[in-house]
Amino acid sequence: METKKELGDGRRAAFSPETPGHRRVPIEQSMLSDASRRKERQVIQKDVQVLSASIQNITRSVNPLAKQLDYLQEDLDSMQKELETWRNENKQLGLTLKREQGLTEAALDPMKAQLMDLESAVLDQRDKVSTLKSNILTNRDKINKLMQGININL
């Protein structure tokens, strides 16, 4: 529209008798320039229509994206809150786990001591059994020697 206005103003100024360096253009040149101006105007109008259609397409494409961006902040806030909730729960469960491990260790300490006592008792009993077996074998050897001595004397 501005271009159209400027063209109209320029044409009036060119044909105005008050314009310095005023010249009159013959009608034939005026008609040719009007025809070329019309063609140029049509080309410009087509370009404007193409540009307008492109802008409308971009607007239609961007509008859903803009709506998603509006929800993005809400979703981000929600995710941050959920992350903080999970971190707090993880921290609490970690503390609970450490406390339970401490209680379990405390409960196991007497049992570990009892287990060590029982293991040492088992070792003592094995030593005694080994000693008894050794005594039995020694006594058996003595009995066999005595029996051989009796058999030789008979």
Say if residue 153's pLDDT is above 70.
no
**pTM exceeds 0.85:** no
Distance separating the N- and C-terminal Cα atoms of the chain: 152
Say if residue 15's pLDDT is above 60.
no
- How confident is the model at residue 73, as a pLDDT? 83
Say if residue 140's pLDDT is above 90.
yes
Contact 27, 57 (CB under 8 A): no
Read off the pLDDT of residues 84-97 as tens digits, 9 standing for 90 and up. Answer: 999 999 999 999 99
Q: Is 30 exposed, middle or buried, given 0-12, 13-18 or 19+ CB atoms closer than 10 A?
A: middle
Say if residue 17's pLDDT is above 50.
no
